Amino acid sequence: MPAKVSDSTIRRLSHYLRILEAMARDGGGTVSSVQLAAAAGTTAAQVRKDLSLFGSFGKRGHGYQVAELADRVREILGLGRDWRVALVGAGRIGSALFEYADFRRRGFHIVAVLDVDPAKIGERWGTLAVEDVASLEAALEREGVEVLIVTVPATEAQAIVDRAVASGVRGILNFAPTQLRTEDGVFVHDVNMVMELEALSFDLTNRIPADVGDTAD
């Protein structure tokens, strides 16, 4: 593994992978960096640079073998295995994620669902029963959970994450709109829909192509 891989490179690899899988379904044999870049909305040089960080996967003059490159990217991203995931927060968003087929398809298996709400505890979700978040540690250890999906209110997220980390969780997908603090070696990725809407609001307000001047301020 190269010492320095930027976050944007990883995100692009994930994007390439989705495209490569679609191409593989369409029976595609080879892709050039130019084609892959066009599909991903980036440049050919960027594609080649991204891939070359991890090895030499193409053939000069011919491009990349679609199926093989997909395998390599999957391997780089660590998707060659299954991940055991616990979902904390059995609300609307949690429920939507639980049903989200793309997670399972990528090897992320939700093996426990927890909530504080007594009305929810005991509900059957697929083959699982919603458990009391009081027994978080027990559930995480029982199921060998490594990744936590957090969809609880912002005020409760930190406490839950602290407990989960103490129980061995090392990766967190955080939907709570709060800045989580964790020790080194624990990775947190945020999904913040409000932030994206606000960025959209900024664009619509300030990045209008022509006319609006820069008279403000």
Partner DNA sequence: AGACGCTTGTGAAATAGTTCACAATGCTAG
Partner DNA sequence: CTAGCATTGTGAACTATTTCACAAGCGTCT
- Cα 75 to Cα 143: distance, rounded to the nearest angstrom: 24
Least distance (Å) from DNA to the CB of residue 36? 7
Candidates 28-36, 61-69, 127-135, 166-174: pick the segment binding a copy of itself (CB under 8 A): 166-174
Query: How many residues at the interface with DNA, by CB under 7 A?
Result: 27
Q: Closest CB to DNA among 68 and 123?
A: 68
Q: Which does 59 bind (CB under 5 to 8 A by kind): DNA, a copy of itself, none?
A: DNA
Residues 6+ apart with CB under 8 A from 177: 154, 192, 194, 195
DSSP secondary-structure letter at 11? H
CA nearest neighbour of 84 among 106, 111, 104, 114: 111
Query: How many residues at the interface with a copy of itself, by CB under 8 A?
Result: 71
When asked if residue 106 is in the footprint of a copy of itself (CB under 8 A), the reply is yes
Buried-state track 177-195, b at ≥16 Cβ within 10 A, e below 16: ebebebeeebebeebeeee
Phi, psi of 118 (to 5 degrees): -55, -30
Tell me if residue 161 falls in helix, strand or coil.
helix
- Cα 89 to Cα 170: distance, rounded to the nearest angstrom: 18
Binders of DNA in range 144-183 (CB under 7 A): none
Q: Closest CB to a copy of itself among 46 and 83?
A: 83
When asked if residue 4 is in the footprint of DNA (CB under 7 A), the reply is yes
- Cα 111 to Cα 197: distance, rounded to the nearest angstrom: 31
Among 2, 3, 41, 60, binds DNA (CB under 7 A): 60
- Cα 91 to Cα 119: distance, rounded to the nearest angstrom: 11
DSSP secondary-structure letter at 77? T
Q: Closest CB to a copy of itself among 134 and 199?
A: 199
When asked if residue 1 is in the footprint of a copy of itself (CB under 8 A), the reply is yes
Least distance (Å) from a copy of itself to the CB of residue 69? 14
Q: Which does 158 bind (CB under 5 to 8 A by kind): a copy of itself, DNA, none?
A: none
Q: Which does 204 bind (CB under 5 to 8 A by kind): a copy of itself, DNA, none?
A: a copy of itself
Q: Using CB under 7 A as the criterion, which residues of the chain lie in contact with DNA when the complex forms? A: 4, 6-9, 31-34, 42-46, 48-49, 51-52, 56-64
